[in-house]
Amino acid sequence: MNKFWIVLGHTYFSRLKSKAFIISTLVVFLFIFGIANIQSIIQLFTGDDELEQVIVIDESGELFAPLETSISQLDEEVELIAYEESEEVGKSAVQNEEYDGLLILELDENNLPIATYYENNAAESSLQYTIEQQLQQVKIAIATEQAGVDEATLASIYEEMPFEKIALDEATKTDEELNQARGIVYIMLFVLYMAVIIYGQMIAMDVATEKSSRVMEILISSASPVTHMFAKIIGIALLGLTQMVLFFIVGASLISTKMDTTSGEIFEFFGFTSTSISIYFYALLFFILGYFLYATIAAMLGSLVSRVEDVQQLIMPMVFLIMIAFFIAMFGLTVPDAKFITITSFIPFFSPMIMFLRVGMLEVPIWEVIVSVGLLVGTIILLAILGARIYRGGVLMYGPSRSLKDFKKALMLTKKEK
């Protein structure tokens, strides 16, 4: 047992001090900081604080006042200016960037507004869209007045029809709750997907590196291959949990300081402020189980190769399994109660993501969660037993190893060693 802790400690601390760990952690910190300050960053690059000025030549003499009132109520950062010069002078002023746009207002034969808008940029802009939409409202007001429809009648026509949906199943979630759950589940699925791939590959690369440098021969002479395998798996698991805890602490502190800003609205939209604590419990549970499932496979596959260059090719089946689970989960975000999603949530290679998706978005009976977790734990135990046998023989194999047929060779070496 003492040898187990030595290998575990070496694996954990050597990775903790590595440049790759430090740089990746700092990059994620910067990403979290960027998300927390997304509104400020957008304003920094878009210049939303600048006042946009549009000069208006109103040839009708009737449209400027209602349009100015409508736009000022909608957006205080857009200013309409009555322009007394000619149209050509106005175009030159826009080209010289004295103003953001030129708007020509006229009335057609039905006394309804028509407009021509000049702007330096050919692409449709938010300023153009705002003016166009408010002019449409002015046109509707003029047309209804001409038709003898009073404002109260018009308001009642456009008033949203009362429509209430009542779920007969009291356990189901409301649309708002589903949207919030969908946001937090999506983020956690993505974290789980990335973590399993990164840390799984880290284990396989670690084993292959030690074999290629012949360090493995020294290690297995002092500690059994099985001890070495599980020490590496748990050591990198602790490394992953350390990184996740750091991310959680930084994220939680930023969320708490940004709740009264626009970024706080984003956090609320994704459900960070109202999600049940059980979601985080299930996220941790399925993260740990999913990690051990794929980490065991990664260690087993890593023991079969002698060169680091061969690792990516040999672990590709494992990556495909993770990708399939992730894509099924992405599909399930829109239809979490589909029969296909329910069935795949009990398949051990998919359940870390898909059962988590279901418990996050639906009211899943506890017995289904227990069955799924039980199957997952049982699969991990079986893979651990098989993986230990293959690992014992695999670490003794040298030479090109690019085929899964090497499983048989590793098992034969294990039997000979006994």
Mean per-residue pLDDT pooled into runs of 10, the chain (418 residues): 76 82 84 72 60 84 84 80 86 87 86 86 76 85 77 72 64 59 74 80 74 56 67 82 82 66 51 64 85 82 68 79 88 85 90 87 87 92 78 59 58 56
Residue 215 lies in a domain: yes
Strand order through the sheet with 52-58: 78-82, 52-58, 101-107, 113-118
Measured between alpha carbons, how far is 345 from 358 in angstroms, rounded to an integer?
8
Q: Which residue do the tokens 């014992």 mark? A: 392
pLDDT of residue 283: 81
pLDDT of residue 367: 92
Give the β-pairing of 78-82 and 113-118: unpaired
Q: Are residues 299 and 337 in the same domain?
A: yes
Q: Which helix (H) or strand (E) holds 106?
A: strand 101-107
Phi and psi dihedrals of 39, rounded to 5?
Answer: -65, -45
Q: Are residues 179 and 130 in the same domain?
A: no
pLDDT of residue 167: 59
pLDDT of residue 262: 46
Q: Are residues 227 and 328 in the same domain?
A: yes
Taken in order 201, 204, 208, 211, the sign of the CA dihedral is positive
pLDDT of residue 376: 92
Residue 139 lies in a domain: yes
Q: Are residues 80 and 184 in the same domain?
A: no
Q: Which residue do the tokens 């060779």 mark? A: 409
Q: Are residues 307 and 356 in the same domain?
A: yes
pLDDT of residue 238: 85
pLDDT of residue 41: 66
Measured between alpha carbons, how far is 93 from 251 in angstroms, rounded to an integer?
48
Residue after which a domain boundary falls, among 111, 132, 158: 158
pLDDT of residue 263: 47
Q: Are residues 58 and 190 in the same domain?
A: no
Q: Which amino acid is at 203?
A: I
Q: What value, to the nearest 5°, has the Cα angle with vertex 346 and ends 345 and 352?
A: 55
Residue 33 lies in a domain: no
Residue 317 lies in a domain: yes
Measured between alpha carbons, how far is 318 from 296 in angstroms, rounded to an integer?
11
Q: Are residues 204 and 307 in the same domain?
A: yes
Query: How crowded is residue 211: how many other Cβ atoms within 10 Å of its Cβ?
Result: 25
Instruction: 253-258: list long-range contacts, CB under 8 Å, 24+ apart.
Output: 254/32, 254/33, 254/36, 255/36, 257/36, 258/36, 258/37
Tokens of 393: 């023989």
pLDDT of residue 159: 75
Residue after which a domain boundary falls, among 132, 158, 184: 158
Residue 342 lies in a domain: yes
Tokens of 324: 């399939």
Contact 321, 226 (CB under 8 A): no
Residue 16 lies in a domain: no
Q: Which residues contact 289 (CB under 8 A, 6 or more apart)?
A: 352, 373, 376, 377, 380
Q: Give start and end residues of each alpha helix (H) in 213-315.
A: 215-222, 225-257, 262-269, 277-302, 311-314
Number of domains in the chain: 2
The DSSP bridge partners found for residue 106 are 114
Residue 392 exposed, middle or buried by CB count within 10 Å (0-12, 13-18, 19+): buried
C-alpha distances out from residue 284 to 60, 117, 160, 270, 377, Å = 66, 56, 43, 18, 15
Q: Are residues 226 and 312 in the same domain?
A: yes
Give the β-pairing of 52-58 and 101-107: parallel
pLDDT of residue 375: 93
Q: Are residues 178 and 70 in the same domain?
A: no
Measured between alpha carbons, how far is 332 from 76 in angstroms, rounded to an integer?
42
Measured between alpha carbons, how far is 57 from 105 in angstroms, rounded to an integer?
6
Give the β-pairing of 52-58 and 113-118: unpaired
The DSSP bridge partners found for residue 55 are 81, 102
Q: Are residues 240 and 329 in the same domain?
A: yes
Q: What value, to the nearest 5°, has the Cα angle with vertex 336 and ends 332 and 338?
A: 95
Give the β-pairing of 52-58 and 78-82: parallel
Residue 327 lies in a domain: yes
Q: Are residues 347 and 220 in the same domain?
A: yes
Per the structure, the complete domain to which residue 125 belongs is given by 48-158
CA 162 to chain centroid, in Å, comes to 35
For residue 144, what is the domain's CATH number? 3.40.190.10
Instruction: 147-155: list long-range contacts, CB under 8 Å, 24+ apart.
Output: none
Residue 38 lies in a domain: no
Residue after which a domain boundary falls, among 101, 132, 158: 158
Q: Considering only CA atoms, which of 195, 192, 200, 176 is closest in space to residue 330?
A: 192
By three-state DSSP, how is residue 181 classified? helix
DSSP code, position 78: E
Measured between alpha carbons, how far is 74 from 219 in angstroms, rounded to an integer?
71
Tokens of 361: 């978005």
Q: Are residues 154 and 181 in the same domain?
A: no
